[in-house]
Structure 1
Amino acid sequence: MIDIHLIGIGTGNPDHLILAAIKAMNAADLILLPRKGEGKSDLIDLRRSICNAVLTGSTRVVEFDLPVRSATPPYIEAVNSWHDAIAATWAEQIATHLPSGGTLALLVWGDPSLYDSTLRIAERLSVNGMALRMHVVPGITSIQALTAAHAIPLNMLGAPVLITTGRRLREQGWPDAAETIVIMLDGTCAFQTLPPDGVSIWWGAYLGMPHETLISGVLADVGARIIEARATLRAQHGWIMDVYLMRKSDTRQAIGSTQTGRALCLNEWANPG
Protein backbone atom coordinates (compact mmCIF):
# COMPACT_ATOMS: atom_id res chain seq x y z
CA MET A 1 0.00 0.00 0.00
CA ILE A 2 1.19 3.50 -0.86
CA ASP A 3 -0.55 6.35 0.97
CA ILE A 4 -0.14 9.53 -1.05
CA HIS A 5 -0.76 12.85 0.68
CA LEU A 6 -1.22 15.85 -1.62
CA ILE A 7 -0.52 18.79 0.65
CA GLY A 8 -1.55 22.33 -0.19
CA ILE A 9 1.28 24.68 0.82
CA GLY A 10 -0.25 28.04 -0.07
CA THR A 11 2.07 30.45 -1.85
CA GLY A 12 5.31 29.18 -0.38
CA ASN A 13 5.27 30.92 3.00
CA PRO A 14 5.50 28.38 5.86
CA ASP A 15 3.07 30.56 7.81
CA HIS A 16 0.40 29.55 5.27
CA LEU A 17 0.56 25.87 6.21
CA ILE A 18 -2.36 24.53 8.20
CA LEU A 19 -1.62 22.24 11.14
CA ALA A 20 -2.86 19.21 9.22
CA ALA A 21 -0.24 19.91 6.54
CA ILE A 22 2.57 20.03 9.10
CA LYS A 23 1.37 16.77 10.68
CA ALA A 24 1.11 15.05 7.28
CA MET A 25 4.61 16.15 6.28
CA ASN A 26 6.10 14.82 9.50
CA ALA A 27 4.14 11.55 9.25
CA ALA A 28 5.39 10.86 5.71
CA ASP A 29 8.18 8.42 4.96
CA LEU A 30 9.11 10.38 1.84
CA ILE A 31 8.58 13.86 0.42
CA LEU A 32 9.30 14.36 -3.28
CA LEU A 33 10.39 17.84 -4.39
CA PRO A 34 10.36 18.64 -8.13
CA ARG A 35 13.16 20.62 -9.76
CA LYS A 36 11.93 22.78 -12.65
CA GLY A 37 15.26 24.03 -13.98
CA GLU A 38 17.61 26.84 -13.07
CA GLY A 39 15.19 29.51 -14.23
CA LYS A 40 12.72 28.45 -11.56
CA SER A 41 15.15 27.57 -8.78
CA ASP A 42 13.27 29.87 -6.38
CA LEU A 43 10.36 27.42 -6.43
CA ILE A 44 12.33 24.48 -5.09
CA ASP A 45 14.17 26.80 -2.69
CA LEU A 46 10.80 27.70 -1.19
CA ARG A 47 9.83 24.04 -0.86
CA ARG A 48 13.19 23.31 0.77
CA SER A 49 12.63 26.18 3.19
CA ILE A 50 9.21 24.81 4.10
CA CYS A 51 10.68 21.38 4.80
CA ASN A 52 13.48 22.91 6.87
CA ALA A 53 10.98 24.95 8.84
CA VAL A 54 8.49 22.22 9.78
CA LEU A 55 10.12 18.77 9.60
CA THR A 56 11.17 17.46 12.98
CA GLY A 57 11.49 13.71 12.43
CA SER A 58 13.02 11.23 10.02
CA THR A 59 11.05 12.07 6.87
CA ARG A 60 13.28 11.65 3.83
CA VAL A 61 13.29 14.47 1.28
CA VAL A 62 14.21 13.52 -2.29
CA GLU A 63 14.51 15.89 -5.23
CA PHE A 64 13.82 14.91 -8.83
CA ASP A 65 13.78 16.61 -12.23
CA LEU A 66 10.29 17.40 -13.45
CA PRO A 67 9.60 16.58 -17.12
CA VAL A 68 9.26 19.61 -19.37
CA ARG A 69 5.99 20.31 -21.14
CA SER A 70 6.14 20.60 -24.90
CA ALA A 71 5.47 24.09 -26.22
CA THR A 72 4.03 22.64 -29.42
CA PRO A 73 0.25 22.98 -29.83
CA PRO A 74 -2.40 21.68 -29.47
CA TYR A 75 -2.43 22.71 -25.83
CA ILE A 76 -4.62 19.93 -24.36
CA GLU A 77 -2.64 17.18 -26.12
CA ALA A 78 0.66 18.66 -24.90
CA VAL A 79 -0.63 18.88 -21.33
CA ASN A 80 -1.93 15.30 -21.34
CA SER A 81 1.42 14.00 -22.59
CA TRP A 82 3.19 16.04 -19.94
CA HIS A 83 0.96 14.64 -17.20
CA ASP A 84 1.67 11.11 -18.40
CA ALA A 85 5.41 11.83 -18.17
CA ILE A 86 5.09 13.29 -14.67
CA ALA A 87 3.10 10.26 -13.46
CA ALA A 88 5.78 7.96 -14.88
CA THR A 89 8.48 9.96 -13.09
CA TRP A 90 6.58 9.77 -9.79
CA ALA A 91 6.20 6.01 -10.22
CA GLU A 92 9.94 5.65 -10.81
CA GLN A 93 10.77 7.67 -7.69
CA ILE A 94 8.28 5.75 -5.54
CA ALA A 95 9.53 2.37 -6.76
CA THR A 96 13.10 3.45 -5.97
CA HIS A 97 12.55 5.03 -2.55
CA LEU A 98 9.44 3.19 -1.24
CA PRO A 99 9.81 -0.28 -2.80
CA SER A 100 7.86 -1.94 0.02
CA GLY A 101 5.17 0.72 0.32
CA GLY A 102 4.75 3.54 2.80
CA THR A 103 3.60 7.13 2.94
CA LEU A 104 4.48 9.72 0.30
CA ALA A 105 3.87 13.48 0.50
CA LEU A 106 3.81 15.88 -2.43
CA LEU A 107 3.77 19.62 -1.78
CA VAL A 108 1.27 21.43 -4.01
CA TRP A 109 1.20 25.19 -4.56
CA GLY A 110 -2.03 26.74 -3.31
CA ASP A 111 -4.68 24.06 -2.96
CA PRO A 112 -4.76 20.78 -4.94
CA SER A 113 -8.36 21.42 -5.99
CA LEU A 114 -7.96 24.84 -7.68
CA TYR A 115 -6.35 25.08 -11.13
CA ASP A 116 -3.79 22.46 -10.25
CA SER A 117 -3.36 19.13 -12.02
CA THR A 118 -1.76 17.09 -9.24
CA LEU A 119 -4.96 15.15 -8.58
CA ARG A 120 -5.39 14.40 -12.29
CA ILE A 121 -1.77 13.25 -12.52
CA ALA A 122 -2.22 11.05 -9.44
CA GLU A 123 -5.14 9.29 -11.17
CA ARG A 124 -2.69 8.08 -13.83
CA LEU A 125 -0.23 6.67 -11.30
CA SER A 126 0.62 2.98 -11.20
CA VAL A 127 3.49 1.59 -9.11
CA ASN A 128 4.35 -2.11 -9.56
CA GLY A 129 0.78 -3.21 -8.90
CA MET A 130 0.71 -1.70 -5.39
CA ALA A 131 -2.55 -0.29 -4.05
CA LEU A 132 -2.65 3.51 -3.90
CA ARG A 133 -4.70 5.55 -1.46
CA MET A 134 -5.06 9.32 -1.93
CA HIS A 135 -5.38 11.94 0.80
CA VAL A 136 -5.70 15.70 0.28
CA VAL A 137 -4.70 18.38 2.77
CA PRO A 138 -6.17 21.73 1.69
CA GLY A 139 -4.04 24.84 1.42
CA ILE A 140 -4.46 28.59 1.19
CA THR A 141 -5.20 29.47 -2.43
CA SER A 142 -3.67 32.32 -4.40
CA ILE A 143 -7.16 33.86 -4.44
CA GLN A 144 -7.29 33.97 -0.65
CA ALA A 145 -3.76 35.35 -0.53
CA LEU A 146 -4.72 38.03 -3.08
CA THR A 147 -7.84 39.25 -1.29
CA ALA A 148 -6.03 39.20 2.06
CA ALA A 149 -3.09 41.17 0.69
CA HIS A 150 -5.40 43.84 -0.73
CA ALA A 151 -7.79 43.64 2.27
CA ILE A 152 -10.88 43.27 0.06
CA PRO A 153 -13.83 40.85 0.05
CA LEU A 154 -13.88 38.27 -2.71
CA ASN A 155 -17.55 38.84 -3.50
CA MET A 156 -19.94 41.76 -3.37
CA LEU A 157 -22.93 41.44 -1.03
CA GLY A 158 -24.91 38.36 -2.04
CA ALA A 159 -23.21 38.26 -5.44
CA PRO A 160 -21.46 35.38 -7.24
CA VAL A 161 -17.82 35.15 -8.30
CA LEU A 162 -16.51 33.53 -11.48
CA ILE A 163 -13.00 32.01 -11.60
CA THR A 164 -11.51 31.53 -15.05
CA THR A 165 -8.26 31.62 -17.02
CA GLY A 166 -6.43 34.26 -19.01
CA ARG A 167 -6.87 32.21 -22.18
CA ARG A 168 -10.65 32.14 -21.83
CA LEU A 169 -10.80 35.85 -20.98
CA ARG A 170 -8.71 36.66 -24.07
CA GLU A 171 -10.78 34.43 -26.38
CA GLN A 172 -14.28 35.00 -24.97
CA GLY A 173 -14.18 38.38 -23.24
CA TRP A 174 -15.88 39.27 -19.97
CA PRO A 175 -18.20 36.40 -18.96
CA ASP A 176 -21.90 37.17 -19.28
CA ALA A 177 -23.70 38.24 -16.08
CA ALA A 178 -20.45 38.20 -14.08
CA GLU A 179 -19.79 41.15 -11.78
CA THR A 180 -16.60 39.86 -10.14
CA ILE A 181 -14.10 37.61 -11.93
CA VAL A 182 -10.81 36.11 -10.81
CA ILE A 183 -8.24 35.36 -13.51
CA MET A 184 -5.60 32.65 -13.07
CA LEU A 185 -2.96 31.21 -15.40
CA ASP A 186 -2.63 34.39 -17.44
CA GLY A 187 0.73 34.79 -19.13
CA THR A 188 -0.31 37.57 -21.50
CA CYS A 189 -2.18 40.11 -19.33
CA ALA A 190 -5.47 39.25 -21.02
CA PHE A 191 -7.21 42.15 -19.23
CA GLN A 192 -5.77 44.47 -21.89
CA THR A 193 -8.22 43.01 -24.42
CA LEU A 194 -11.19 44.39 -22.43
CA PRO A 195 -12.81 47.81 -22.60
CA PRO A 196 -11.39 49.26 -19.35
CA ASP A 197 -14.23 51.64 -18.50
CA GLY A 198 -16.05 50.81 -15.27
CA VAL A 199 -13.63 48.03 -14.30
CA SER A 200 -11.43 47.90 -11.20
CA ILE A 201 -8.53 45.46 -10.83
CA TRP A 202 -6.58 44.03 -7.90
CA TRP A 203 -3.38 42.29 -9.07
CA GLY A 204 -0.73 40.45 -7.10
CA ALA A 205 2.48 38.58 -7.92
CA TYR A 206 4.61 36.32 -5.69
CA LEU A 207 1.91 36.52 -3.02
CA GLY A 208 3.24 35.76 0.45
CA MET A 209 6.84 35.76 -0.76
CA PRO A 210 9.52 38.33 0.11
CA HIS A 211 9.15 40.06 -3.28
CA GLU A 212 5.35 40.19 -3.21
CA THR A 213 4.08 42.96 -5.50
CA LEU A 214 0.57 44.43 -5.45
CA ILE A 215 -1.11 46.92 -7.77
CA SER A 216 -4.75 47.95 -7.68
CA GLY A 217 -6.93 50.66 -9.15
CA VAL A 218 -9.18 51.53 -12.05
CA LEU A 219 -8.13 49.32 -14.97
CA ALA A 220 -7.80 52.26 -17.36
CA ASP A 221 -5.34 53.90 -14.96
CA VAL A 222 -3.19 50.97 -13.80
CA GLY A 223 -3.40 48.38 -16.59
CA ALA A 224 -0.23 49.59 -18.31
CA ARG A 225 1.60 49.71 -14.97
CA ILE A 226 0.70 46.07 -14.27
CA ILE A 227 1.93 44.99 -17.72
CA GLU A 228 5.24 46.78 -17.18
CA ALA A 229 5.67 45.49 -13.61
CA ARG A 230 4.92 41.92 -14.66
CA ALA A 231 7.48 41.99 -17.47
CA THR A 232 10.13 43.52 -15.20
CA LEU A 233 9.55 41.01 -12.41
CA ARG A 234 9.59 38.04 -14.76
CA ALA A 235 12.89 39.22 -16.24
CA GLN A 236 14.38 39.69 -12.76
CA HIS A 237 13.35 36.31 -11.34
CA GLY A 238 13.08 34.13 -14.45
CA TRP A 239 9.49 33.15 -13.57
CA ILE A 240 6.34 34.72 -12.15
CA MET A 241 3.20 33.59 -10.36
CA ASP A 242 0.40 36.14 -10.40
CA VAL A 243 -3.37 36.35 -10.13
CA TYR A 244 -5.90 39.15 -10.30
CA LEU A 245 -9.47 40.03 -9.49
CA MET A 246 -11.61 42.41 -11.53
CA ARG A 247 -14.93 43.94 -10.65
CA LYS A 248 -17.42 45.96 -12.66
CA SER A 249 -19.26 49.05 -11.45
CA ASP A 250 -17.25 49.32 -8.25
CA THR A 251 -14.40 51.82 -8.18
CA ARG A 252 -14.85 52.80 -4.53
CA GLN A 253 -12.47 50.10 -3.31
CA ALA A 254 -9.80 50.71 -5.96
CA ILE A 255 -7.06 52.25 -3.89
CA GLY A 256 -4.60 52.59 -6.78
CA SER A 257 -1.61 51.69 -4.63
CA THR A 258 1.50 49.63 -5.25
CA GLN A 259 3.31 47.70 -2.55
CA THR A 260 6.45 45.66 -2.98
CA GLY A 261 7.99 43.10 -0.65
CA ARG A 262 7.52 41.95 2.91
CA ALA A 263 9.72 42.22 5.97
CA LEU A 264 10.03 38.41 6.11
CA CYS A 265 12.96 36.90 4.20
CA LEU A 266 13.67 33.29 3.21
CA ASN A 267 16.27 32.86 5.95
CA GLU A 268 13.70 33.84 8.55
CA TRP A 269 11.24 31.32 7.08
CA ALA A 270 13.82 28.57 7.28
CA ASN A 271 14.89 29.53 10.80
CA PRO A 272 11.75 30.65 12.66
CA GLY A 273 12.41 32.67 15.82
Structure 2
Amino acid sequence: MNLRRKLFSSLAASLCVSAAHSATIYSQDFTASNPIDGSGTPEEILNNTLYVSSGQTITGGSSEAQATNGDYTIALGRNSAVDDGYIFNADPSYVPAGQNGGASGTFAPGTGFAGIDQNYVITTGSITIDDQGTSRTGTVSINANAFNVGGEFLSLNLIQIEEDDATGKVTLIIDYDAFGDFDGNENPTITTNFGVSGDLTAYNFFDAAEAANSIGANNGFAEVLSFTLVEGVPEPSSVAFLGLTGLVLLGRRRR
Protein backbone atom coordinates (compact mmCIF):
# COMPACT_ATOMS: atom_id res chain seq x y z
CA MET A 1 0.00 0.00 0.00
CA ASN A 2 2.86 2.39 0.86
CA LEU A 3 4.59 1.64 -2.45
CA ARG A 4 1.36 2.35 -4.35
CA ARG A 5 1.01 5.69 -2.59
CA LYS A 6 4.62 6.61 -3.34
CA LEU A 7 4.21 5.82 -7.04
CA PHE A 8 0.96 7.75 -7.19
CA SER A 9 2.50 10.82 -5.50
CA SER A 10 5.64 10.69 -7.65
CA LEU A 11 3.73 10.57 -10.95
CA ALA A 12 1.30 13.29 -9.83
CA ALA A 13 4.23 15.59 -9.00
CA SER A 14 5.88 14.80 -12.34
CA LEU A 15 2.65 15.64 -14.17
CA CYS A 16 2.32 19.02 -12.44
CA VAL A 17 5.92 20.00 -13.15
CA SER A 18 6.09 18.89 -16.82
CA ALA A 19 2.78 20.51 -17.80
CA ALA A 20 4.11 24.02 -17.17
CA HIS A 21 6.86 24.10 -19.86
CA SER A 22 6.29 25.97 -23.12
CA ALA A 23 8.48 27.66 -25.71
CA THR A 24 7.78 30.94 -27.49
CA ILE A 25 8.03 30.46 -31.26
CA TYR A 26 7.11 34.02 -32.26
CA SER A 27 6.46 37.11 -30.18
CA GLN A 28 5.85 40.66 -31.36
CA ASP A 29 5.26 43.10 -28.51
CA PHE A 30 4.00 46.27 -30.17
CA THR A 31 4.31 48.17 -26.90
CA ALA A 32 8.10 47.80 -27.24
CA SER A 33 8.23 48.07 -31.02
CA ASN A 34 10.70 50.13 -33.02
CA PRO A 35 8.84 50.45 -36.35
CA ILE A 36 10.28 51.89 -39.55
CA ASP A 37 8.44 53.89 -42.18
CA GLY A 38 8.78 51.88 -45.38
CA SER A 39 7.60 54.55 -47.81
CA GLY A 40 10.60 56.26 -49.36
CA THR A 41 13.53 56.87 -47.00
CA PRO A 42 13.18 54.63 -43.92
CA GLU A 43 12.50 56.64 -40.81
CA GLU A 44 11.71 55.50 -37.29
CA ILE A 45 8.08 55.99 -36.29
CA LEU A 46 7.77 58.20 -33.21
CA ASN A 47 5.73 57.14 -30.22
CA ASN A 48 2.79 59.26 -29.07
CA THR A 49 2.43 60.80 -32.52
CA LEU A 50 -0.60 60.93 -34.78
CA TYR A 51 0.20 60.54 -38.47
CA VAL A 52 -1.87 61.11 -41.57
CA SER A 53 -0.95 58.83 -44.42
CA SER A 54 -2.29 56.61 -47.17
CA GLY A 55 -0.75 53.65 -48.94
CA GLN A 56 2.11 53.59 -46.45
CA THR A 57 4.04 50.53 -45.29
CA ILE A 58 5.61 50.10 -41.87
CA THR A 59 8.00 47.31 -40.85
CA GLY A 60 9.23 46.40 -37.40
CA GLY A 61 10.91 43.81 -35.25
CA SER A 62 14.57 42.92 -34.85
CA SER A 63 17.19 44.78 -36.87
CA GLU A 64 18.14 41.50 -38.56
CA ALA A 65 14.57 40.85 -39.64
CA GLN A 66 14.04 44.42 -40.81
CA ALA A 67 16.79 43.86 -43.36
CA THR A 68 14.44 41.43 -45.12
CA ASN A 69 10.69 41.55 -44.63
CA GLY A 70 10.55 42.49 -40.94
CA ASP A 71 9.02 40.63 -38.04
CA TYR A 72 5.83 42.33 -39.13
CA THR A 73 4.56 44.56 -41.91
CA ILE A 74 1.72 47.07 -41.67
CA ALA A 75 -0.04 48.30 -44.81
CA LEU A 76 -2.12 51.45 -44.25
CA GLY A 77 -5.07 52.82 -46.15
CA ARG A 78 -7.49 55.68 -45.55
CA ASN A 79 -11.26 55.51 -45.72
CA SER A 80 -11.68 59.13 -46.81
CA ALA A 81 -9.77 62.39 -47.21
CA VAL A 82 -10.56 63.45 -43.63
CA ASP A 83 -9.50 60.27 -41.84
CA ASP A 84 -6.65 60.49 -39.39
CA GLY A 85 -3.57 58.30 -39.25
CA TYR A 86 -2.01 55.92 -36.77
CA ILE A 87 -0.32 55.97 -33.37
CA PHE A 88 2.39 53.86 -31.76
CA ASN A 89 2.45 53.63 -27.96
CA ALA A 90 0.36 56.65 -27.03
CA ASP A 91 0.61 57.83 -23.45
CA PRO A 92 -2.72 57.00 -21.72
CA SER A 93 -3.20 60.71 -21.02
CA TYR A 94 -2.57 61.67 -24.64
CA VAL A 95 -5.66 62.84 -26.52
CA PRO A 96 -5.13 63.19 -30.30
CA ALA A 97 -6.88 66.16 -31.88
CA GLY A 98 -8.33 66.37 -35.37
CA GLN A 99 -10.41 63.22 -35.35
CA ASN A 100 -12.50 62.96 -38.50
CA GLY A 101 -11.60 66.27 -40.07
CA GLY A 102 -10.99 68.53 -37.10
CA ALA A 103 -13.23 67.51 -34.23
CA SER A 104 -11.55 67.45 -30.84
CA GLY A 105 -9.97 64.13 -30.08
CA THR A 106 -11.28 62.32 -27.02
CA PHE A 107 -10.01 58.77 -27.45
CA ALA A 108 -6.55 57.56 -26.49
CA PRO A 109 -5.65 54.04 -27.66
CA GLY A 110 -2.96 53.47 -25.04
CA THR A 111 0.05 51.23 -25.73
CA GLY A 112 0.57 49.16 -28.86
CA PHE A 113 -0.31 50.08 -32.44
CA ALA A 114 -3.62 51.76 -33.26
CA GLY A 115 -4.87 52.85 -36.66
CA ILE A 116 -7.39 55.58 -35.83
CA ASP A 117 -10.15 55.82 -38.45
CA GLN A 118 -7.96 53.88 -40.85
CA ASN A 119 -7.91 50.60 -42.71
CA TYR A 120 -4.81 48.56 -42.04
CA VAL A 121 -3.44 45.05 -42.37
CA ILE A 122 -0.71 43.68 -40.09
CA THR A 123 1.12 40.58 -41.33
CA THR A 124 3.85 38.75 -39.48
CA GLY A 125 7.03 37.53 -41.11
CA SER A 126 7.22 33.80 -41.94
CA ILE A 127 6.79 31.61 -38.85
CA THR A 128 7.52 27.86 -38.67
CA ILE A 129 5.58 25.69 -36.24
CA ASP A 130 5.70 21.95 -35.48
CA ASP A 131 2.56 20.06 -36.47
CA GLN A 132 3.12 16.77 -34.62
CA GLY A 133 6.53 16.27 -36.20
CA THR A 134 5.82 18.08 -39.49
CA SER A 135 7.12 21.62 -40.00
CA ARG A 136 4.50 24.12 -41.18
CA THR A 137 5.40 27.64 -42.30
CA GLY A 138 2.89 30.45 -42.49
CA THR A 139 1.91 33.88 -41.25
CA VAL A 140 -0.61 35.58 -38.98
CA SER A 141 -2.57 38.39 -40.64
CA ILE A 142 -4.88 40.88 -38.91
CA ASN A 143 -7.16 42.92 -41.14
CA ALA A 144 -8.68 45.97 -39.41
CA ASN A 145 -10.97 47.50 -41.99
CA ALA A 146 -13.95 49.87 -41.86
CA PHE A 147 -12.91 51.72 -38.71
CA ASN A 148 -14.11 55.01 -40.04
CA VAL A 149 -16.24 57.01 -37.58
CA GLY A 150 -15.22 59.33 -34.76
CA GLY A 151 -11.90 58.12 -33.45
CA GLU A 152 -12.52 54.38 -33.47
CA PHE A 153 -9.48 52.16 -33.22
CA LEU A 154 -8.21 48.60 -32.90
CA SER A 155 -4.98 48.71 -30.89
CA LEU A 156 -2.72 45.64 -31.02
CA ASN A 157 -0.44 45.02 -28.04
CA LEU A 158 0.90 41.52 -28.67
CA ILE A 159 0.94 38.71 -31.22
CA GLN A 160 2.53 35.54 -29.85
CA ILE A 161 2.76 31.84 -30.76
CA GLU A 162 3.73 29.31 -28.10
CA GLU A 163 4.40 25.57 -28.22
CA ASP A 164 4.04 23.27 -25.23
CA ASP A 165 7.32 21.34 -24.97
CA ALA A 166 5.67 18.25 -23.52
CA THR A 167 2.50 17.91 -25.60
CA GLY A 168 3.31 19.76 -28.84
CA LYS A 169 0.23 21.97 -28.53
CA VAL A 170 0.69 25.23 -30.48
CA THR A 171 -1.25 28.29 -29.33
CA LEU A 172 -1.77 31.73 -30.91
CA ILE A 173 -2.27 34.64 -28.48
CA ILE A 174 -3.62 38.06 -29.48
CA ASP A 175 -3.71 40.91 -26.92
CA TYR A 176 -5.72 43.93 -28.06
CA ASP A 177 -7.78 46.97 -27.07
CA ALA A 178 -10.56 48.49 -29.19
CA PHE A 179 -12.98 51.40 -29.11
CA GLY A 180 -16.02 52.08 -31.30
CA ASP A 181 -19.74 51.73 -31.73
CA PHE A 182 -19.40 48.32 -33.44
CA ASP A 183 -22.70 48.48 -35.25
CA GLY A 184 -21.77 45.90 -37.85
CA ASN A 185 -19.59 48.17 -39.98
CA GLU A 186 -16.44 47.23 -38.08
CA ASN A 187 -15.23 43.71 -38.75
CA PRO A 188 -11.53 43.23 -37.90
CA THR A 189 -10.44 39.67 -38.60
CA ILE A 190 -7.59 37.22 -37.94
CA THR A 191 -6.33 34.79 -40.60
CA THR A 192 -3.57 32.18 -40.34
CA ASN A 193 -2.25 30.03 -43.18
CA PHE A 194 -0.06 27.30 -41.69
CA GLY A 195 -2.05 24.49 -43.33
CA VAL A 196 -3.10 23.04 -39.96
CA SER A 197 -6.53 22.06 -38.70
CA GLY A 198 -6.59 24.99 -36.27
CA ASP A 199 -6.02 27.67 -38.94
CA LEU A 200 -8.28 30.73 -38.70
CA THR A 201 -10.08 32.12 -41.74
CA ALA A 202 -11.23 35.72 -41.28
CA TYR A 203 -12.09 35.11 -37.62
CA ASN A 204 -13.98 38.19 -36.36
CA PHE A 205 -12.61 39.82 -33.21
CA PHE A 206 -16.07 40.76 -31.97
CA ASP A 207 -18.64 38.05 -31.36
CA ALA A 208 -22.38 38.49 -31.82
CA ALA A 209 -23.03 39.21 -28.13
CA GLU A 210 -20.47 42.00 -28.01
CA ALA A 211 -21.80 43.51 -31.21
CA ALA A 212 -25.39 43.37 -29.96
CA ASN A 213 -24.45 45.09 -26.71
CA SER A 214 -22.49 47.77 -28.56
CA ILE A 215 -24.91 48.95 -31.24
CA GLY A 216 -25.48 52.68 -31.09
CA ALA A 217 -22.97 53.28 -28.29
CA ASN A 218 -19.25 53.82 -28.01
CA ASN A 219 -17.73 50.85 -26.18
CA GLY A 220 -14.24 49.74 -25.33
CA PHE A 221 -12.82 46.23 -25.24
CA ALA A 222 -9.61 44.93 -23.70
CA GLU A 223 -9.15 41.21 -24.37
CA VAL A 224 -6.53 38.50 -24.70
CA LEU A 225 -7.61 35.92 -27.30
CA SER A 226 -6.16 32.41 -27.38
CA PHE A 227 -6.46 29.96 -30.31
CA THR A 228 -5.21 26.37 -30.60
CA LEU A 229 -3.46 25.95 -33.95
CA VAL A 230 -2.17 22.42 -33.27
CA GLU A 231 -3.80 20.07 -30.78
CA GLY A 232 -1.36 18.48 -28.35
CA VAL A 233 -1.00 14.86 -27.33
CA PRO A 234 -0.96 13.60 -23.71
CA GLU A 235 2.42 13.68 -22.01
CA PRO A 236 4.03 10.32 -21.20
CA SER A 237 3.72 11.16 -17.50
CA SER A 238 0.02 11.90 -18.01
CA VAL A 239 -0.55 8.52 -19.64
CA ALA A 240 1.35 6.75 -16.86
CA PHE A 241 -0.55 8.75 -14.25
CA LEU A 242 -3.92 7.82 -15.74
CA GLY A 243 -2.85 4.20 -16.09
CA LEU A 244 -1.78 4.01 -12.47
CA THR A 245 -5.03 5.61 -11.37
CA GLY A 246 -6.93 2.92 -13.27
CA LEU A 247 -4.90 0.16 -11.63
CA VAL A 248 -5.48 1.58 -8.18
CA LEU A 249 -9.22 1.81 -8.79
CA LEU A 250 -9.27 -1.70 -10.24
CA GLY A 251 -7.39 -3.00 -7.21
CA ARG A 252 -9.87 -1.38 -4.85
CA ARG A 253 -12.78 -2.82 -6.84
CA ARG A 254 -11.35 -6.35 -6.68
CA ARG A 255 -10.78 -6.03 -2.93
Give the TM bin, normalised by the shorter chain.
under 0.3
Bigger relative contact order, structure 1 or 2, given CA contacts below 8 A and separation 6+? 1
More helix by share: 1
Q: TM-score, normalization: structure 2?
A: 0.26
Normalised by the size of structure 1, how large is the TM-score?
A: 0.25
Q: Which has the higher strand share?
A: 2
Mark the structure with the bigger radius of gyration: 2
